[in-house]
Amino acid sequence: MTSQMLRVAEVEVLTPLVKRFRFEHPEGKTLPLFSGGAHVVVEMEDGETLRRNAYSLISDPQDGSGYEIAVRREDRGRGGSRFMHTKVSEGDPLRVNAPVNLFALDLRARKHVLIAGGIGITPFLAQLRQLTRLQLPFELHYAARSRAEAAGLKLLPQAPMIQVHLSEEGNRLDPGAILAHQPLGTHVYTCGPEGLIVGVEDAAQRLNWPKDVFHSEAFLSPPPGKPFTVTLTRSGLTLTVAPNQSLLEALEAAKVEIPWSCRGGACGRCETEVRSCKGRIAHHDHWLEDAEKSAQTKIMPCVSRFEGEELLLDR
């Protein structure tokens, strides 16, 4: 992985639950530019544990002076966002990996419709700067429960093609109304809670939109769960995965070589063969096909867990 040590240059409280972080090179060097929708993996040394969490970049892709992310504190998560909120302050060094984009704009589109829910606004903040710079037609819809919770309000410019939908103020987002009558060549992108993504997908299907113009990024972080044991056939190790640890993190802690990129079940890099499975794999990824999931012959260690007697992996 290509990573570098950056310095936390700014921390801003956007809402009680969301903070914005800005990273800069300690010697002021320019960072690689990126494309809208890209994410970085931030490494956090939390005591004994090395956490790596992926966050969408929200800053201007054309601006190499720094990278910015927005982190929502998830108190029921494994601890990464809590670490960012409580232990990271201005001036701290943090290791940040090079940007990777798994949610890029399809530049063939005649028009881009972006639909965000809650913290799912993050990838679109960079995309709308890219679209504006390239002078491409777009509209952005941002849904949040209330004004107080809507971190995006502080980050979005005022513009006629940007609409905010606050359900508390009786202005709920209606995917069907947004997608009706769009011109030929429109692509739709959605990011946010599962319910929103399903809602947009259903509306697109109902309106007979083809699958290839629908793009989504579920905001997936590895869910915590019960501890389980896994045996690695190549390295000959048996490991226990702790409740607040992902299988991938357990492998890394044991110094097992394994490629990764998104750490959110989307990119496929850490796909691992299952040699034997006596029990049930809890697949949480968006990568494996349904048939592969039910066959229990592959697992995505970044997000998936296991319950049962024995799990043998080809690692």
Contact set with other proteins (CB under 8 A): 1-2, 32-35, 38, 61-62, 98-101, 104, 106-108, 110, 130, 133-134, 179, 181-186, 207-213, 259, 261, 267-269
Helix ranges (H only) for 186-225 are 194-206
Hey, what amino acid is at 246? S
Of 21 and 260, which has the nearer Cβ to other proteins?
260
Nearer to other proteins, 2 or 89 (CB): 2
Which among 173, 212, 179 has a CA at the least distance from the CA of 196? 173
b/e code 249-261 from CB counts within 10 Å (16+ = b)? bbbbeeebebebb
Determine which helix (DSSP H) or strand (DSSP E) holds 214, and give its type and residue range. strand 214-218
198-221: b (≥16 Cβ within 10 Å) or e: ebbbebbeeeebeeebbbbbbbbb
Q: Find the shortest distance in angstroms from Cβ 105 to other proteins.
A: 9
Nearest approach in angstroms of CB 225 to other proteins is: 28
Find the shortest distance in angstroms from Cβ 160 to other proteins: 21
Which stretches of 260-303 are assigned E, i.e. beta strand?
272-282, 298-299
CB of 139 to other proteins, least distance (A): 13
Q: Which is nearer to other proteins, 34 or 219 (CB)?
A: 34
> Least CB distance from residue 183 to other proteins, whole Å?
6
Nearer to other proteins, 16 or 259 (CB): 259
Of 193 and 268, the one with the shorter C-beta distance to other proteins is 268
Helix, strand or coil, per DSSP, at residue 245? coil
